[in-house]
Amino acid sequence: MEGVEKSAFRFWWVLWVLVICMLRSGGGLVVGQEAGDGGDVVVPAMFVFGDSLIDNGNNNDLTSFAKANYFPYGIDFNGGPTGRFSNGYTMVDEIAELLGLPLIPAYSEASNSGDQMLHGVNFASAASGILDITGRNFVGRIPFNQQIDNFENSLDRITDNSGATDVAQMLSRSIFFVGMGSNDYLNNYLMPNYPTRNEYNGQQFADLLSHEYTTQLTKLYNLGARKFVLAGIGMMGCIPSILAQGTTGKCSEDVNKLVLPFNANMRNMIDNLSTNLPGSKFVFIDVHNMFQDILSNARSYGFRVLNRGCCGIGRNRGQITCLPFQTPCPNRNEYLFWDAFHPTEAVNVLMGKKAFSGTPDVVYPINIQQLANI
């Protein structure tokens, strides 16, 4: 019996040592594999910054007109109306799943618990922009500068849980997803009560945004970010809200052309930042090309309604966006747009997959999967 007991002791001792070694070498990966949806965890965390396209509830407790925490938002989402401006998943929800991560919690929910921040935090806020003044018509919103401040504040809680050295390593391997700029046009430049259009032409405004954007991304780099994914602006002239302002029912070419200089600047910006910030890697999601492909090949993707929202009121269901307890369309997977401004879950999932493993015509210079594996 004594020999058996010694053998058993050696077995459990060796097993314990192996577990400790795995925990030390794997860090957050071990936790991530338990928390994800069954896929291999490629990165320890994802931190998300942006606007309503990827907000998942940060505006819920704000005094704001930009909210989506009511039915029928979330009608196809397991958690119901969480504050996502969609019937279901956002693009970053799909990307998180493909990375093997759990869905990333909103800062408003996770800020009181370092444990909830282990796999990342979503700081995005509806109506927010690169410029602080963007979206003021909606009253409460969290501009990109404040989102960065919130990230900096969250580092203290994450560090308390993991230690400074481990956090620095974790941040360097994590994905930092930023989707900004749409509101700087929709809820600033194109708004009649803003002076912006009288102060800048299209190229000058794009240059102003790019200059500020560069400063903001550099601050994130100085806080530890190394792997950046930046989403460009899509074909804004084709959203129901803009279609409803016209009389032809066709996309506004003026609006589509207006945002092109911003997207062009972004490509130059990430090339410059990659050169000037040692150890950084930048990926640009060309949402414009991605959306153009979806429009051109809509039927092959299963989409049949391209010019109006699934939930909304007025011309193109885009004059008033989705109201509380309004009955949405039943065939949501056939619609490009969920409401006056935002895509359906079907489009978000498709775009997330294209960003994750797509080719350089839609995600440049490498895709998210390749970035994660660096």
Give the model confidence (pLDDT) of 129-139 as tens digits. 999 999 999 99
User: What's the half-sphere exposure (Cβ side, CA atoms, 13 Å) at 46?
Assistant: 34
The 10s digit of each residue's pLDDT in 73-110 is 999 999 999 999 999 999 999 999 999 999 999 999 99
- Are residues 26 and 42 part of one domain? no
Our answer to whether residue 288 is catalytic in this structure is no
Q: Which of 174, 252, 342, 357 is labelled catalytic?
A: 342
- Are residues 357 and 285 part of one domain? yes
- Are residues 347 and 307 part of one domain? yes
Contacts of 190 (CB under 8 A, 6+ apart): 197, 255, 258
- Are residues 211 and 116 part of one domain? yes
- Are residues 11 and 75 part of one domain? no
The pTM (predicted TM-score) of the whole model is 0.89
- Are residues 140 and 89 part of one domain? yes
- Are residues 134 and 185 part of one domain? yes
- Are residues 3 and 90 part of one domain? no
Q: What CATH number is attached to the domain comprising 277?
A: 3.40.50.1110
Would you mind telling me the total number of residues written for the chain in this entry? 374
Our answer to whether residue 108 is catalytic in this structure is no
The 10s digit of each residue's pLDDT in 197-237 is 999 999 999 999 999 999 999 999 999 999 999 999 999 99
- 113 pLDDT band, cuts 50/70/90, is confident
- Are residues 21 and 60 part of one domain? no
DSSP state of 189: I
Q: Which of 51, 55, 93, 339 is labelled catalytic?
A: 339
| Range(s) of the domain holding residue 62 | 36-372
Amino acid at 160: D
- Are residues 318 and 350 part of one domain? yes
- Are residues 44 and 13 part of one domain? no
Q: Which of 148, 118, 122 is nearest to 220 (CA)?
A: 148
Q: What is the 3-state secondary structure (H, E, C) of 252-315?
A: CHHHHHHCHHHHHHHHHHHHHHHHHCCCCEEEEECHHHHHHHHHHCHHHHCCCEEEEECCEECH
Our answer to whether residue 211 is catalytic in this structure is no
Q: Which of 51, 52, 111, 162 is labelled catalytic?
A: 52
